[in-house]
Amino acid sequence: MKPFLSLFPRLENHSTVDTTGELATNTHGLLGSAMDYMVCLLADIFMPTYDGPSNFANNLLGHRLYYGFRTTIWPDRKALAPIFINRDKGQTAGFEEAVRQVMLSTNFGWPHKRLSPETFYTNSWTECFCQTSAVNPADKCLPDNVLDILDSQLATERIDDSESIASNLTSDVNK
């Protein structure tokens, strides 16, 4: 953690936020987890440490996305792994450039279509955000007068239904 802290001296977690030791003595249930969640939610930048099915990370990613596409870094761990393995083996030439190249293709939490295996909780963008100039009609925002349009359609359907009921009654009487 020390190299990471030297790069990011303002990094905070529940241990550094709680200077009174209150969390250590009063750990009621998930208080520590709730504190972690809020610190991560409100952070300027967040990078999940695990790619797998983590409810904490998935919900947090979706929450950050919903509240303004806050910067969230999803590095391509499969592409970074061989670079770090080579560095550990002593091959340091070109290390920084290789990491930069991988990070240039990294998703930084901007709006994007959901890709499998992303869940709704991780990326609710497609269902919760409309686009004013969308290419796909399904992604366009509803018109401002959508309620008037729906009321008009319902009224038309009621008139059509009452006319069909009346014509059915008339045809039954004529039989």
CA distance 125 to 63: 11
Looking at 4-8, 35-39, 81-85, 115-119, which range is the least confident one?
115-119
CA distances from residue 28 to 12, 13, 20, 41, 61 in whole angstroms, order as listed? 21, 18, 16, 21, 25
For the chain, domain boundaries: 2-141, 142-175
User: Cα 49 to chain center, whole Å?
Assistant: 16
pLDDT at 35: 84
CA atoms within 13 A on the CB side of 116: 0
- The string of pLDDT tens digits covering residues 22-81 is 666 666 666 777 888 888 888 888 887 766 667 777 788 778 877 776 777 878 888 989
- The string of pLDDT tens digits covering residues 67-112 is 776 777 878 888 989 999 999 999 889 999 999 888 887 666 666 6
pLDDT at 84: 93
- The structure tokens 């269902």 sit at 127
